[in-house]
Amino acid sequence: MRGLFHYWWLFAELGLSVAVHFTYAMTIVSTVLLGDAIQLCCSSFRRRIRASRESSATTHHGTFLDGHEKAPIVLVHGIFGFGKGKLGNISYWAGAEEKDERVLVPDLGSLTSIHDRARELFYYLKGGIVDYGFEHSQHYGHSQFGKNYGQGHYPEWDESHPIHFVGHSTGAQVIRVLQQMLADKHFEGYNESTADWVLSLTSLSGALNGTTRVYIDGLNLDGKTMKTVSLLQLLKIAVLVYEWLDIPVFKKYYGFGFEHFTLPWHKIGLRGLVKCLAGHSGPFATGDWILPDLSIQSAVGINSNLGTHRNTFYFSYATKRTTKLLGRIVPSRLLDIHPLLMIRSLQISCWKHPLPDIPYEGYRDEDWQDNDGALNTISMLYPRFPYSHKNCPLAPDFKDGQALQPGVWYFTILEADHIYFIVNRDRAGIHFDVLYDSIFRRCRKELKRSWSSIRRSR
């Protein structure tokens, strides 16, 4: 009887999760289609405006001027995210990119691994054909080369022309991995690359240390494989079928970024799809996708190879939608939590890691209970596992005037859920403008780099 109840609860929870996620996805799709329908009604006028904007956006190397104050700000989306040109007129950043004339919004793989997205981001900026690396590609069974970005969106990017990066969710970790790749000179033909190509890194609800949510969604405790019955298994099926069908009109609006795995029906046939679904090939079989990177075990491994660099400014805005009630951590302000995150917020606050397979020495469940519905708040503060990086609280209310030093993680905690500051700016209200105005103003006015100090550091 007890076992029967367990399975009944498992399928009930899975059904509810699927319903919530499907409803949210359909809401986004219907919004996109409605927006396109409105565009068709006044196509001539809209087309002229869009052509003008695209013309100015494609000549990035002529738009950005030399000097740190003119350095572009690059917004890097998180899991299931998208960049400019996808999902119609919907902005992942809820229009924050309009706050500054020198902002780039790349469209990277929404479910591809942190490594693959970091490589894509580099070539998006510098230009050329994406090179995922020979050894990495051989190990994970996909093509070494990907999309051709042509001249790139900021080809002059180097130590003298550094960039401000802002990453949401997994986007923050993508930027960190990219910076380490630059420091380690991992890009063939760019032996002059250094960590100093990154002037500042701002993490917004960043997945800096992994999350316990991946285990709730269906990842096993090994941080790699999936449970047989889980939300992730259903996601796997949906993604593989979508990629296999390869319908151009759908891909125009949204893609998961697995083109380098060669998944379309006209290339692998029905037998190839069956092999992928059975777990014998493809990204879900090899583990070269984003969810395994988000396990605490994987995050500890990734962080062990990432540094906080002495000439880069680091900022972290962690989010939290939980509070302590009668000695227990529970979701707070339920009406302000997005329906997509409400159930997971409760589950994360109650989740306990089975002993003795803890992900790192000193792990405690209570440290990981505060969350924003997707990530644990402890994970978003600053890199701290397997070791804590130098850090300092950020002045409250985003006040100017705080003496800022490079090589230090300045962090603060905001009362918000994981998607409070993206997609729908009306949810955040005035807090949206306060946050992004502060981030952009800091990039433009406060963050300076002393070239003499860089020379001394070498």
Contact in structure between 123 and 149 (CB atoms under 8 Å):
yes
Question: CA-to-CA distance for 313 and 304, rounded, in angstroms?
Answer: 20
Q: Tokens at residue 189, please? A: 């033909």
**pLDDT tier, 88 (very low <50, low <70, confident <90, very high otherwise):** confident
My answer on whether omega of the bond before 386 falls inside 30° of 0, hence cis, is yes
Of 125, 149, 148, which Cα lies nearest the Cα of 71? Answer: 125
Res 4 pLDDT > 70 = no
In Å, how far are 34, 35, 107 from 30, measured between CA atoms? Answer: 6, 8, 21
Q: Please name the amino acid found at residue 168.
A: H
Instruction: Give the DSSP letter string of 146-208.
Output: EEE-TT-SSTT-BTTB-EEEEEETHHHHHHHHHHHHHHTT-STT-TT--GGGEEEEEEES--S
Whether residue 412 contacts residue 393, with contact meaning beta carbons closer than 8 Å, is answered with yes
Question: What is the structure's pLDDT at 37?
Answer: 58
Specify the amino acid at residue 445. K
- Return the pLDDT at 220: 94
Counting beta carbons within 10 angstroms of the beta carbon of residue 114, is it exposed (0 to 12), middle (13 to 18) or buried (19 or more)? buried
Locate 248 and state its tokens.
């151009």
Q: Are strands 163-168 and 73-76 parallel, antiparallel or unpaired?
A: parallel
Tell me what the mean pLDDT of segment 244-267 comes to.
95
- pLDDT at residue 335, as a whole number: 82
What confidence score (pLDDT) does residue 12 get? 67
Structure tokens at 106: 């790349």
**CA gap 26, 11 in Å, rounded:** 22
Q: Alpha-carbon distance 39 to 46, whole Å?
A: 7
User: Residue 135: pLDDT above 80?
Assistant: yes
Query: DSSP states of 407-444 as a string?
Result: T-EEEEEEE--TTTTSS-HHHHTHHHHHHHHHHHHIII
Residue 447 and residue 166 in contact, taking contact as beta carbons nearer than 8 Å: no
Query: Could you write out the DSSP letters of every residue in 26-56?
Result: HHHHHHHHHHHHHHHHTHHHHHHHHHHHHHH
Q: Mean pLDDT score of the chain, rounded to an integer?
A: 88
Write the CA distances from 301 to 88, 286, 295, 387, 415, integer angstroms.
Answer: 37, 17, 10, 11, 29
Looking at residues 405-415, what average pLDDT do you find? 97
Position 59 scores a pLDDT of 41
**Looking at residue 11, what is its pLDDT?**
59
Residue whose tokens read 């939590």: 337
Find residue 161's DSSP bridge partners: 158
Report the relative pairing of strands 145-148 and 129-131 from DSSP bridges: antiparallel
Summarised one tens digit per residue, pLDDT across range 143-165 is: 999 999 999 999 999 999 999 99
| pLDDT tier at 8, thresholds 50, 70, 90 | low
Q: Which amino acid is at 379?
A: S
* Secondary structure E strands in 321-451: 322-325, 328-331, 391-393, 409-415
The span from the CA of 117 to the CA of 125, in Å, is: 12
CA 353 to chain centre: 25
Among 35-39, 181-185, 449-453, which is the least confidently predicted range? 449-453
User: What is the maximum span of the chain, computed from C-alpha positions, in angstroms?
Assistant: 72
Bond from prior residue into 356 cis (ω within 30 degrees of 0): yes
Which residue in this structure is represented by tokens 């076992």?
3
Q: Which residue has the higher pLDDT, 4 or 101?
A: 101
Give the residue, 21 or 243, on which the prediction is more confident. Answer: 243
User: Which residue's structure tokens are 């000193």?
Assistant: 362
Q: Please give the pLDDT value at position 363.
A: 95
Please write the tens of the pLDDT for every residue from 19-54. 766 676 666 666 655 555 555 565 544 454 444 444
Q: What is the pLDDT of residues 256-311, one digit of tens each?
A: 999 999 999 999 999 999 999 999 999 999 999 999 999 999 999 999 999 999 99
The span from the CA of 212 to the CA of 354, in Å, is 12
Q: 73-213+293-456 has which CATH code?
A: 3.40.50.1820
User: How many Å apart are CA 343 and CA 19, to the nearest integer?
Assistant: 12
